[in-house]
Each structure stands twice: as C-alpha cells, then as structure tokens.
Structure 1
Amino acid sequence: MVPKAASPLVWLFWWLGPLPCALSAVNPLAPVRRCYIPSLREGEGSGCTRLQVLLGAQFGLNRYGQETTAQRLCLKKLREVGGNTFVFAQGICDLWNCSSADALTGTSADQRSPSEQQNSTPSVFSELCDYQELNPSPDVRRSPVFVKLWEWNYVDIGKECQDYLGPNGFDAVQVSPVTEHKLGPQWWTKYQPVSFSLSSRSGSMEDFAQMVAACRASGVQVMVDLIINHIATPCKDGRGTSSGTPCVGWNGSLYGNRRLAGARGWDAAGPEHFNHLEGSLMDNCIVGPPSWTCKAGSIDVTDCSCCSCDFLKLPDWNTGLPAVHDMHLRHVQELHDIGVTMLRIDLSLFESIADLSNVLSSVPWDFVYQEWWWEKPDPMRHRYIGHFRDITYRYLITHYLGNSTLEKLPEALTLSRGHDQIRPETSVYPIAFHDGRTWKANPGNATYKNGLEFHQQQKFILAWPRGSSILLWGGFGWSSMSDGPPGCDFRGEQHCQPEPVFLDGQAQCMTTPRESPLPADLAMKRTWVCEHRWEGVAGLIEFRKACRGLAVTRTWKDCFAALVRGYNTQLKSEWGHLGNWLLDGLYVGLPSGRYCDLGSLPTQRGWDRKRCPRQVVIGTDGRILSGIVLEGDLLAIHVGGRMS
C-alpha cells in the first residue's frame, strides 16, 4: 500500500503428551478432517498405501438425500483397518494409510482412483490435514468465507442460500443453535436448550432439513452453533425444587431444575446426569463474572479446572458419564445425517478435551471451530477439537479504521494476525459476534450502528490479503441488548413469532448506509439489517478468492485496491472530510480495459460483466484514465474482473 501523492491521509494497497484437563478416563480421539485436495494416487515412493476399496449401496445417500451417513460409515471402516485417510464418493469408500502430510498432498498421478473411474467427484478425509487449509496443495489456494445469519428462520436461510449466498461464493452459513430452547423473546434463550428436539423458534425439524438440503445444493455448507455444555436454567416455578418438570420449552417439552423430560425418547435427564457438589445433586460450583473462573479453579481457565462447574448457573452436563456421551453422540450424528458438515462449539473452553473429542470425532467434519476469547491457545484443543475464534483481528481493524487518528492508519498495512499466540491458519476471524455488541454506536466495536464505518471495515476484512477463514455477519437491529429477532422484543411475548426476512420473495433488509454513525432512530430500529448484503460485499468475495495470500507490494500486476478513511460525526474527526479520491493518471500497470470496482457490486448473481455501479478504466500505458474512491469506501479491481 502506498500513499496518495504526498498525502499520508489516504492509502491504497495491492497484493498479488498428557492431557491437562481430562475429567474422565477416556483418551482424546483424533479427528479425521475434510482435506481440500484431489483424489489420492498410489505409486512407488508416494508414501500412501491403499488398504481397501469398499463398494455398495451402504455408501449411498440416506433418507435426507445426503451422503453424510455413508461418510461416517466409511470413517468407521477406516478405524477398523487402522488407516488414517479415506477417499469418498457416492457408492465408494476407499481406505488409505499415508506416512505424512507431505505424502498425502504429494502422491503420484499414475493411475485413476475408483471414484474417478465411475465419474464421481471424490472427497478426501484424513487425520493428516488440518481444517480448512488455505494452501492444501501447490496448485490450490483457498479463501473460506462464512456468514452467520443471526436468528434467521430456516425457510429464509434456505432461500438466502439459493438467491444470494451460493451465487456470491459464500462457503458456509452459520445458523443459531438448533435445539429446542426455553421460552422467552430474548436472543439468549436460544442458548438454553431444554431437549434435543430440532424444533425451535427458527422452525421445525422438517424446515431445518429442507434448509440444509437447499443450502448444500447451492454449494453452501451449513454450520451449527452446537450447545452440549449445559441446559437451561429452570423457569420461576422450577427454581429451588428438587423434583418435577414444571417448565415448558418452546416446542412443549417439559423440564425443571437440573432435569429434562426429553422430547426424543433418548434425551431425558435427571440431576445425576449433571456435575454437582459432593453430597448434593442439586448444587454445583459456578463460573461467572468478574473473573470468569470458579472458586476452586486456577486463574488460567484453559487448564479445565472449572470444566465441571455451571457456567452462569446453567446446569453443566457430566460429559464423562456414558449415558451423557451417548446422548450427545446421537445429537451430533443426527445433525450430520441431515447434512450439517460444520460446527461452532459454544463454551468449548469449559468442556473436557477427551470427552468432547470422543463425541465430535465420531464424524468426519468439514470444519469445527471453538468459541474463544482472549485466552492463550491450547495446542491440545486445536489438535483434538478444532480452530479458534480470534476476535483480536476484528478489534485491530476497528482500531485502525474506527477509533484512532489518521497517524494510525498506516499500521493497517502491517496487519497479519490477531491474537499474538493464535496462528492465522488455525483461526476464524469474525467481523462481528453476538457477545461483542454495544447498545449504541461505538467506533471501537464493529456493529451496524456505526454505519458506513462498519461497512468499510467489513470490506477491508475481505479485501486485505491476510487472514484465513473470514466470518461475516447478517443480523438484526436491537434497541435493547437482550432483544431477540424482529417480532421478539426484550419484554415481548414468551412464545413470540419472529418476523420473516423475506416478504413476497424480497429480502426486507436495511439499505447500505452512507454515513457514520447511523442516525439514532435507524440505529435503534427493530428490523433485519443483513450487513452481508450491503453493496460491495458480494463483489469483494470474488476479489478475496482471487487475491488472498498474494504479497503486499508497491507495484501492481493482478490486484489493486484503495480506500479513503471516512468521517465520523460522533468522533467529530479532527481531520475533517477527506473527500473523494480521483485516481485519474495513477500508474497501476494492469492490462488496459474497463474493470468493475468489485467494492461497488451488489451481487454476482446474473452479473454479465457488462455493467457495474462503479468502473475503473485503464489505458494502454497502464495508467488509470478514470476511477474514483468515495470517502469512507474501498475500491478493488483485479484482472479477472475486467468487463466485456
């Protein structure tokens, strides 16, 4: 990135052992993960040996029309023969053992695999690759982009996958917790399960399965926010009781104080299924503010010394019990049967690595990541559970492009990671998250309430070539920090009915903001915001997938981007309005032609590459003939985005 002329105010950029917290006697189980590499080849010196090829209808589609159950069977067969890698295609389970990760990605190509012989597209799963590898082989460069659709109903999510997420290159959609939850209009009721029924205020189990099928058919995987650390606190009538189930959940299931009647026939539980103090089934240690540790635990909560305590008084499952293990196993395997291939693990920090891995690793997932805050990363958790959510990355972006002076802007060009101990390749970088919000606009905290400033920050997280897996946000407006989705106000009906996102086939979303912050009435409006749909996000996903991982240099060849810092009326920015930046005459060296400014493109769906809201024209001498960066915005072009 280099400065505009002699000014430091506006910038442009281009880039081509022993388990410490085991609470039970079981050993951790290593996951077999999806590897984004071509099918394996067997050859002398390749380092990979084919063990067995299994064929048959048992490796076909299940009753949901998904191949996931068969993949899980293939994993079981792999472990029976002592292998570490399998290649799956419909009807085929190809079992392998590879000597190393290098052998896995460097196998020779002297013969066709059985799946290719039958014209099937194979998927490779192995203990030797990591989740969502960015460069899984020399000729593959990946740039995963996910989005969380906060409290959207399943029908709307399915339509969004078909209409917007799939056509615009999103790799996965993260959905809010899917189990039946306690009554109440607040967002956090979804994080308090009362059974393992898959009916909630987001829709029925049938709605959920149809949504998963629609998303996967559109090329979008589904990621579930998994809640298996705890259950709901009791309702008023259940507090202080030691028997009975006087409380009613969202779908009618009964529950009480440390007790579930269950909805499935296999998910009933009593006080004996939860961690408790010695001599008292109804009492337990507590994890909560201000230290977020427990009385008997250490200051370093990563040692799992508080894993058997109730987080915020939510009854904590005793995951070392076989009955609890089996219950959780049935739940995650049912999700996988339906077609869920990715997970976010809520409160992973407070779960035993051994117990949790023995549930999760029964499934060959495409991706798993853990809720994580500021703690140092535990390598054992990465090895056996999954990636870490790294929120530091987004706070650095909001600092450089939000609540700091212009003198800090050049530091944005040094951004290479978030948490200094969490490696980018083991991270998920969210631009926003539900526990990281503020009631009013705050330039240091990325929410829609910051208006155009937030939009520039989500554009930057996509356009900047660093980072790994990116998690965008599509949520709703709140006037209270506890508000649920529109239609479920904080003090509203206990069994509220959320408003749909789509009416008459059109998404009812807030338009792209033009100022920072939003006007107070709009910032507090109870409406669907859909930040991921704001202008330019769709185009920048194409830009990221073309340009992520390339070097940051002062010369240009394939990719070019520029931004102008905006003006925030709340901060009353001392530098005033910088204005728009006319790029005419700037030498960039890209091939001549008309380019679409992908930072202005609202959607790639149906885009014919003949029209674009904002264009950049480059002459035969490599200089820009016409192009503009608007104040508070970001421009991005690459050679693949030339217009016809």
Structure 2
Amino acid sequence: MTHLPARATALLGALLLLAGCSAPPEPAATRTRDVGVQMFQWTWDAIATECTDSLGPAGYGWVLTSPPQEHIVGEPWWTAYQPVSYRVESRLGTRDEYAAMVETCHDAGVDVWADAVINHMTGQDAPGTGWAGSSYSHYEYPGLYTDADFHHCGLTPDDDIAVYQDAAQVQMCELVNLADLATETDHVRDTTTAYLEDLLSLGVDGFRIDAAKHMPPEDIAAIVAGLPEGAGIAQEVIRGSGEPITPEQYLANGRVYEFAWGKDVQGVLASSPERVLDLGTTSGYVPSDDAVIFVDNHDTERNGSTLSYSDAGDYALATVLMLAGTYGTPAVYTGYAFSDRDAGPPQDAEGAVLDASCGAAPGPGADLADGDWVCQHRWPAIAGMVGWRSIVGDAPVVDDWSEGSAVAFGRGERGFVVVNSGDDELHAELPTSLPDGDYCDVLATGDCASSTVRDGVLTVTVPPQTAQAWDVTARP
C-alpha cells in the first residue's frame, strides 16, 4: 500500500471536510489470512481456478485438498481414503495438475494443505488394481508394503476395533477393515515420511493427518520429525466421552481438529447464542492456538453430529459466528449435495471426477439435486465474513451484547457483527467502538446497505435468521 506524505494527507482531509465527507479510516495494520477451506472432492484444476477467481480475492488463507494419492476404484467418496500407492495420481487429477494447482493457489495468496492418509491402506479383502494401475491385495502393496508392515491385533474376533474405551484396540486394530499400518516400525515410518516429503516437493504447505487418533502420538512424531521446519500439521483426533485417547496427547506434534466446537455451536445457536463467546474457554477444548475449528466436515455432514448445508440459514449463521470469534483457526467446508451418504461426487464414464461449478448465485436454501456443488465458501455471508476477519485481525472482543436469539459484538475498533437467529426482526441501538460514520454491511449483496454509527451507537434492523457485519474499510 502506498502511504501519502503527511502534507498530502492533511490536504486530502481538508478537501474531504470541505466536500462534506469524513476522512477514510486507517485500515488494519496487517490483513490476516488464517481462514482455511476444505474443498471436498474438488479436482485439482477446479481448485486452481477457484483460488484465482474466489478464494484469493475473498481473503482465504489456505485450502485443504482431498487425499492426493492413488486409491481404489469405485464411485463412493470414501474410495479416496483407501490408498493403493503413494503416487500422486487419482480421480481428482494428475501429479502435474496437482503441482500446477499449488503454484496457481500460491500466486493467489492461498496456501495448500493435503489430506494425508497414512494410518492405513485399503479395506478390500479381494485383490484389485488401483486408479493408476497399481496392483494390490489387502496386505500386499508391491514395492511399498508387505504383510509384515501391518497390525494383526488379535484383540477382537475380526481384528476390527470394537471398544473405543480400549486404547490398544483403537491404535492397533483395524478401523472398519482398513489394513492398519504398523507405524511403530522403521520401514513404515520412513515410507510415509517419504510420501509427505514428496508432496512438500510439489509445494504443499501442510498436512491434515487423517485418522491420527488411530496412531500413537509418538508414531506421528517420528513420521513428521524429519519434515522441514514450517511444514504445517493438523491432526484428526475425535474427542469421545470417557475415552482414554484425547486430542491433548497429540499437541506436541502440531494442531488438532477440535470437534467439540462444531458439535457445541449447533446447540448454542438454537438456545443461547450469547454463549458462543464461551466456546473454547471451558474444559473439553484444547487451547486456541492448538485448535482448528469447523462447523462441519465430510464426515460430520454425513453422520449428523453437526450442522450441514441442509440446515441452510442456521448453517450460515454458525459459520458467521465461527469467523467472527477469536477461538481457534477456522476452516470453512465446501462439498456437494447428496441423499445417499456413500455417494461420490459427479464423475464421467471412466470414474474421473468432473470439475466443480458453483453457478451464478450460491447460497443457503438453494434448490440442489444430488451431486450439485453447494459452494458454501461463496455464500455471501460466509465469503463476506472471511474478508471481515482479515480486517479485524487479532483485535479483542469488545462491546458484546445479547438479547433473546440475537448476539452482537465488536473486534476492537475494526469491526462489528450482529447475528439474529430468531424468528422476529431485530431492532436495536447497540454500543460499538467503531468510529462514527457510515458503513456498508459486508454480508449484503448488491449495492452498499448503509448503517450509521453516531456517538458510539449503531442502530440496526436485522431480519430473522440473518446476520450483518461492518468493518473500518467498508464505507459508502
């Protein structure tokens, strides 16, 4: 940004006053780009296009891709989570396309994280051939692993996990028949580390470690220890009531996905939205700097443990609250519509996934057929809040207010947000630290929807099941 000399700034201010306008506010010192987006089953080419056209301009900081490795052949979404080899060849694109996508996203200011499936291989009892032509059987992956590289726990009749209160079963037995890698062995550790290093060579910035809960934390520590400094790590460790394995046990390796936030925000939004600022401050949550939070992901939207796109307005409001707060690193989710929880994304006759298309005006409550791309990351309220968050940065929560089904709060002098989850229109005069003047609602579409701060008070009219937000850069 070019800064005007002091004399020029004073002259500009005088001219604006003569014209009857106020001088523009100073923008936030540094724009924050910490919001991620999980682009579930998007092809590499489609992600590249979206980084340029939408994600970069909106202010997203990183994108999580689906697993970039060869997998079994089949229509369901979960084929991507059954590795056959570590070749970067899948129904989402080729190795060259993945590398090109990373470069394009970097040019747009967006980092790229990969979903890394290193706990297991396939769950297929019969031998087969993977997407890129590699042969395999349940415990044999030529040139990669043999039977000796897998656990055969002997703790349950079929070697599958039966009791999650038994840590040995969770980390040594098979998760729904998926061949469980012996990650305590040098060969498995060296092989999985080499795979992660290969992805880093393509420009990847970090990894979501899938099924981290099913590997001892010391095994993950050994696998990631050799990675270059700065390689991001976020581990999938689902907290279960009374279970001996907890997310806190993994924090020495990097951040964890805090599932409690997404589960709890659903109840908070329905009954007491003023409690949203308490999420993350109580027991049962990892510290803020260690948490990646989300409203939903590809598993929870299918098992019903969180809100999902089908919840329309509630889903959008929960995401607004996630992006407005200070707890954790937020990750938006974007996928496709489905009625069969196993259904995969739209594919061609050979099984290759078709490039995603968002259409002209995605938003909550859209009439979607199975396989349509939902494009939550483009919904006006969500994309608008990503930009809002980049402006408010690390400013503290101030001026918090609640009444009935509505909650409002500011972030220092940089931004202010109101969420009305009730069935009635909200009319209120709210104290705010925003400087006096006129502001545009950054969540609205079309022309500036102007509101005025006068004497530290913002007068709002917020329709039911909607939100509004203002920041110091959004002026008429």
Verify same fold: TM over 0.5.
Answer: yes
Residues 594 and 198 (structure 1), Cα distance of their counterparts in 2 relative to 1, 3 Å cut: same
Deviation of 1:170 after TM superposition, in Å, equals: 1.0
One of 426, 449, 459 as aligned partner of 2:310: 449
Residues 622 and 275 (structure 1), Cα distance of their counterparts in 2 relative to 1, 3 Å cut: closer
Residues 255 and 220 (structure 1), Cα distance of their counterparts in 2 relative to 1, 3 Å cut: same
Match in the other structure for 1:187: 77
Match in the other structure for 1:615: 450
Residues 307 and 600 (structure 1), Cα distance of their counterparts in 2 relative to 1, 3 Å cut: same
Query: Aligned-residue CA RMSD in angstroms?
Result: 2.8
Deviation of 1:371 after TM superposition, in Å, equals: 0.5
One of 238, 250, 257 as aligned partner of 1:373: 238
Separation in structure 2 between the aligned mates of residue 586 and residue 417 of structure 1, nearest angstrom: 25
Deviation of 1:286 after TM superposition, in Å, equals: 2.7
Identity %: 25
Structure 1 position 543 matched with structure 2 position 371? no
One of 319, 326, 333 as aligned partner of 1:466: 326
Match in the other structure for 1:359: 223
Match in the other structure for 2:192: 328
Where structure 2 has 5 or more consecutive residues not aligned to the other structure, the ranges are: 1-28, 402-409
Deviation of 1:486 after TM superposition, in Å, equals: 2.3
Separation in structure 1 between the aligned mates of residue 430 and residue 232 of structure 2, nearest angstrom: 42
Query: Does the 8 Å contact 1:179/1:200 carry over to 2?
Result: yes
One of 413, 421, 424 as aligned partner of 1:578: 424
SS in 2 for 1:578: coil
Match in the other structure for 1:485: 345
One of 338, 359, 367 as aligned partner of 1:508: 359
SS in 2 for 1:553: strand
Deviation of 1:449 after TM superposition, in Å, equals: 0.5
Query: Does the 8 Å contact 2:36/2:62 carry over to 1?
Result: yes
The letter of the residue matching 1:252 is: G
Match in the other structure for 1:119: none
Structure 1 position 531 matched with structure 2 position 376? yes
The letter of the residue matching 1:500 is: D
Residues 419 and 427 (structure 1), Cα distance of their counterparts in 2 relative to 1, 3 Å cut: farther
Separation in structure 1 between the aligned mates of residue 346 and residue 118 of structure 2, nearest angstrom: 27
Query: Does the 8 Å contact 1:144/1:468 carry over to 2?
Result: no
Structure 1 position 628 matched with structure 2 position 469? no
Separation in structure 2 between the aligned mates of residue 447 and residue 509 of structure 1, nearest angstrom: 21
Separation in structure 1 between the aligned mates of residue 319 and residue 69 of structure 2, nearest angstrom: 30
One of 335, 341, 356 as aligned partner of 1:475: 335
Separation in structure 1 between the aligned mates of residue 115 and residue 218 of structure 2, nearest angstrom: 20
Structure 1 position 275 matched with structure 2 position 165? no
Match in the other structure for 2:262: 394
Deviation of 1:317 after TM superposition, in Å, equals: 1.5
Query: Does the 8 Å contact 2:40/2:333 carry over to 1?
Result: yes
Separation in structure 1 between the aligned mates of residue 433 and residue 182 of structure 2, nearest angstrom: 62
Listed as ranges, the matches of 1:586-605 within 5 Å are: 588=432, 590-600=434-444
SS in 2 for 1:333: helix
Separation in structure 1 between the aligned mates of residue 437 and residue 320 of structure 2, nearest angstrom: 24
One of 461, 472, 475 as aligned partner of 1:639: 472
SS in 2 for 1:471: strand
- With 208-217 and 545-554 compared, the bigger mean Cα shift is at 545-554
One of 119, 126, 135 as aligned partner of 1:254: 135
Separation in structure 2 between the aligned mates of residue 589 and residue 200 of structure 1, nearest angstrom: 51
Separation in structure 1 between the aligned mates of residue 117 and residue 277 of structure 2, nearest angstrom: 38
One of 411, 417, 427 as aligned partner of 1:561: 417
Query: Does the 8 Å contact 2:238/2:247 carry over to 1?
Result: no
Match in the other structure for 1:435: 299
Residues 421 and 399 (structure 1), Cα distance of their counterparts in 2 relative to 1, 3 Å cut: closer
Deviations 1:333-379 (A, max 9, x none): 10011111111111111213333222212112342111111146354
Deviation of 1:300 after TM superposition, in Å, equals: 5.0
Deviation of 1:141 after TM superposition, in Å, equals: 9.3
The letter of the residue matching 1:202 is: L
The letter of the residue matching 2:378 is: R
Separation in structure 2 between the aligned mates of residue 285 and residue 365 of structure 1, nearest angstrom: 41
Deviations 1:263-318 (A, max 9, x none): xxxx432212222358xxxx9963435x33xxxxxx253xx564232221111112
The letter of the residue matching 1:497 is: A
Query: Does the 8 Å contact 2:123/2:176 carry over to 1?
Result: no
Deviation of 1:497 after TM superposition, in Å, equals: 3.1
Residues 379 and 512 (structure 1), Cα distance of their counterparts in 2 relative to 1, 3 Å cut: closer
Separation in structure 2 between the aligned mates of residue 587 and residue 454 of structure 1, nearest angstrom: 27
Query: Does the 8 Å contact 1:509/1:530 carry over to 2?
Result: no
Deviation of 1:496 after TM superposition, in Å, equals: 2.0
Separation in structure 2 between the aligned mates of residue 272 and residue 221 of structure 1, nearest angstrom: 37
Query: Does the 8 Å contact 2:239/2:247 carry over to 1?
Result: no
Deviations 1:212-260 (A, max 9, x none): 111112111111111111111235xx2xxxxxxx411112111113111
Separation in structure 2 between the aligned mates of residue 481 and residue 418 of structure 1, nearest angstrom: 33
Separation in structure 2 between the aligned mates of residue 315 and residue 258 of structure 1, nearest angstrom: 7
